[in-house]
Amino acid sequence: METKIHHPYTWKMVLYIVNVCWASAAYGYASSIIATTLGQPSFYAYMGLDTNPNTAALIGAMNGLYYTGGFFGCVAIGKIADRWGRKMSIYIGIVIVLISNALLAGSVNTAMFIVFRFFQGVGAFIELATVPLWITEVVPPKDRGMLIDLHPIFANIGYVMASYVGVGFFYYKNAAGNEWRAPLAIGCLPCILCLVSMPFVPESPRWLLLKGRREEAWQIVKSLHHSPHTDNTSFAEREFYLMREQTEYERTHKMTTWQMLKSPAYRKRLLIGCGLPFLLQSSGVLVINNYGTLLYSGLGFGPEQQLHLQAGWLVVSFVLNCVAVLIVDRLPRPVLITIGLVGAAAALIVECAIQASYLGTDNRSALAAGVAMLYVYVFFYAMFLDGPTFFYLGEIFPTHARSQGLTLGMASFCLADIVWLQAAPTAFQNIGWKYYLFFIIITAAGAAWAWFTFPDTRNLPLEQIAVLFGDVDHQAPELRAIPAEPVTKIAQHDEGRMETEKHVELEERETL
C-alpha cells in the first residue's frame, strides 16, 4: 500500500537559510571584487602596475594566491566542521573574510595586497563549502536542490554587488586616486549581516546526532520539518528515524580512511566528489568572471564598457540562478549536469572561432557576437551547473564523511582555479584564443562522463543514497528494508512502521 506523506519546508527554514547565505554573499563579493579592482585605473596607478614589466605575473598572483588560500581553507573545513560544528565553521570563515577585506582596503603596496588576498581566500572558501554542508543537513529531501540553490543565488548577489559597486566608484573621481579602496571595504557589509544573523540559526541536526545530542537534534527536526498548520508530525518523525538509525550505525561502525579507499562505493564517491568541481571550474567560468574586463578589452571595448559588460554578465547569472530553482528538482541530476556542460562547450566553441577569426579586426558585429557568446555560456552555467556544484556533492557522501567529502571537493575546485587563473593572463597574452581549447575539450569529455556514470540522487533522503552506490553494507540494518525512493511517494512497510512507532514512543517517554 502506498500513501502520501507531508514533506514541508517552512518559512522559518527559508529564513534560516537566508541568514546563513549572507556568508555566501560574502564569498561572492570577495571572489568578484578583484575583477572590477583590476578595471580601476587608480589601482594600476597606485600599485605601479601601469609601468611594471611584471604586471601580468602580479595580476596572476592576486588571483592565484586567493585560490591557494582557498585550498588551505578547504583543508581546514573537515576538522573544524566535525569537531566544533557547522555553525562554528561559518563563524570562523566569516571573521577571516571580514578582517581580510578591511586590510585589503588599507593595502599600501602590492605585497600587502597579495598577502591578504591569500587570507581572504582562506575565509571565503570555508564559507563556500560549509554553507551548502549546513543546508544539505537541515532541509527535507524534496526541494533540497531548490533550497541549496539559495547558496549560489546569494553568491551571485555578492558578485553583482561587487561589480556595480566597482562601476560606481569608477565614475567617482574625487578620492585622490583611492577609488579602488572603498569597494574592497564595502565587502565587510555581508560579513557583518552574517555575524548578526547567525546566533538565531540552529545547528545541523545530523552533526548533533554524531555528537550524541539526540534530544536537541529532534527538537530542530520537529521545528523545521513539520508545518505549524497541522499537528501531523509523521514526516518529521520518519526523517528523524532515518537520521538517527544511520548516524548511530556510523558512530559504532567507524571506517578508517584506508577502509574507505578500499571500498568501490567510496572510491566512486571520491571520484565524483573531486572530479565534478574540477570539471565545472575547468569549463572556464571563473576565468571569464575574474578576467572579464581583460576579455572585453581584447574584444575592443574601452574601460567604461568593460565594467558595464562585466556587471551585466553577473546580473544575467544572478537572474538565471533564480530561475534555476524552478527546474533543479525536476530534472534527474545527470541530465541537468550534462545539458549544462554540452551547452557551455558549444558556446565556447563559437567564442573560440570568433576570436580566432576576428580578434584585432574592426568588425564590430563579430566582436559583439563574441560578447554574446560569453552571455550564452553563462546561461548554461547558471541554469544547469552552478547549483549541482554544491548540492550534488553534499548528497553523495554519508553524514560521517560529508564534511571531508566537501573538503576534498572544494579543494579540487581551488586547484582547478589556481591552475587556470594563474595561467590566464600569460596565456591570453601569448596564445590568445587557443586557451579556450583546454576548456572545450575538458567540458565535452565531462558531459559524457556525467551522462553515463552519475547516479540520480534527486528527492532521496540522504540516509538512503548509499544504495545508489551499491553501499548497502554500510547502511544501518534497520534501514535496509526501507526502499530508496523519492519521499513524494513512500511505501509503508510493516517493519518500517513499527520501528517508527517505537521511536516516537521512546521520544515521548524521554520528554516526560
| Domain at 120, CATH number | 1.20.1250.20
What sign does the CA torsion over 344, 345, 349, 350 have?
negative
DSSP state of 202: P
CA pair distance 195, 180, nearest whole angstrom: 25
pLDDT at residue 422, rounded to an integer: 77
Residue 423 shares a structural domain with residue 491? no
Give the closest residue to 280 by CA, choosing from 292, 267, 289.
289
**Residue whose cell numbers read 572561432:** 353
Q: Are 299 and 155 in contact, with CB atoms under 8 Å apart?
A: no
pLDDT at residue 288, rounded to an integer: 85
CA pair distance 13, 204, nearest whole angstrom: 12
CA pair distance 62, 277, nearest whole angstrom: 22
Which residue range is the domain that position 500 belongs to? 476-511
Give the N- to C-terminal CA distance of the chain in Å, as an integer. Answer: 34
Residue 354 shares a structural domain with residue 487? no
Residue 448 shares a structural domain with residue 505? no
Q: Are 219 and 208 in contact, with CB atoms under 8 Å apart?
A: no
- Count of the separate structural domains present in the chain: 2
Helix (H, G, I), strand (E, B) or coil at 471: coil
Phi, psi of 99 (to 5 degrees): -65, -40
What amino acid occupies position 217? A
Q: What is the DSSP string of 44-110?
A: HHHHTTTT-TTHHHHHHHHHHHHHHHHHHHHHHHHHHHHHH-HHHHHHHHHHHHHHHHHHHHT--SH
pLDDT digits (tens, 9 = 90+) for 79-131: 899 899 999 999 999 999 999 999 999 999 999 999 999 999 999 999 999 99
Residue 455 shares a structural domain with residue 496? no
pLDDT digits (tens, 9 = 90+) for 365-385: 888 898 899 999 999 999 999
In a domain, 397, yes or no: yes
CA pair distance 454, 269, nearest whole angstrom: 10
In a domain, 232, yes or no: no
Q: What is the pTM of this model?
A: 0.84
Which pairs count as long-range contacts for 369-376, CB under 8 Å and 24+ apart, including other chains?
370/299, 371/296, 371/299, 371/301, 371/309, 373/347, 373/348, 374/288, 374/292, 374/295, 374/313, 374/347, 375/312, 375/313, 375/316, 376/343, 376/347, 376/350
CA pair distance 237, 225, nearest whole angstrom: 9
Residue 74 shares a structural domain with residue 181? yes
Residue 111 shares a structural domain with residue 56? yes
Q: What is the CA radius of gyration of the chain?
A: 24
CA pair distance 146, 144, nearest whole angstrom: 5
Residue 503 shares a structural domain with residue 434? no
Q: pLDDT tens for the chain, 512 residues: list them.
A: 344 444 556 788 999 999 999 999 999 999 889 877 887 888 888 898 888 888 878 887 887 889 889 999 988 988 899 899 999 999 999 999 999 999 999 999 999 999 999 999 999 999 999 999 999 999 888 888 899 999 999 999 998 999 889 888 878 777 677 888 999 999 999 999 999 999 999 999 999 998 989 999 999 998 887 766 666 677 788 888 888 888 887 777 666 667 777 888 889 999 999 999 999 999 988 888 777 777 888 788 887 788 788 888 889 999 999 999 999 999 999 999 999 999 999 999 999 998 888 887 888 888 889 889 999 999 999 999 998 888 898 899 888 888 888 888 988 988 888 888 778 878 888 888 898 899 999 999 999 999 999 999 998 888 788 888 887 666 665 565 565 555 444 434 434 443 444 444 444 434 43
In a domain, 251, yes or no: no
**Residue whose cell numbers read 561502525:** 253
Phi, psi of 48 (to 5 degrees): 70, 20
Residue 419 shares a structural domain with residue 497? no
Please give the helix or strand (H or E) that residue 403 lies within, else none. helix 399-430
Q: Are 268 and 469 in contact, with CB atoms under 8 Å apart?
A: yes
Please give the helix or strand (H or E) that residue 283 lies within, else none. none
Residue 24 shares a structural domain with residue 65? yes
Q: Which residues of 208-229 are buried (b: 16+ CB within 10 A; e: fewer)?
A: bbbeeebeebbebbbebbbeee
Please give the helix or strand (H or E) that residue 363 lies within, else none. none
Residue 67 shares a structural domain with residue 144? yes
In whole angstroms, how far apart are CA 236 and each of 211, 217, 478?
A: 20, 11, 18
CA pair distance 211, 420, nearest whole angstrom: 40
CA angle at residue 8 from 504 to 233, to 5 degrees? Answer: 20
Residue 313 shares a structural domain with residue 332? yes
In a domain, 82, yes or no: yes
In a domain, 495, yes or no: yes
In a domain, 240, yes or no: no
CA pair distance 241, 237, nearest whole angstrom: 6
Give the Cβ contact number of residue 396 at 10 Å.
Answer: 26
Residue 496 shares a structural domain with residue 403? no
Give the closest residue to 3 by CA, choosing from 234, 226, 229.
234
Please give the helix or strand (H or E) that residue 174 lies within, else none. none
In a domain, 230, yes or no: no
pLDDT at residue 242, rounded to an integer: 85
Give the closest residue to 458 by CA, choosing from 331, 339, 337, 335.
331
pLDDT at residue 150, rounded to an integer: 94
Quick one: cell of 168?
560606481
In a domain, 165, yes or no: yes
Give the closest residue to 57 by CA, choosing from 106, 139, 114.
114
Q: Are 275 and 449 in contact, with CB atoms under 8 Å apart?
A: yes
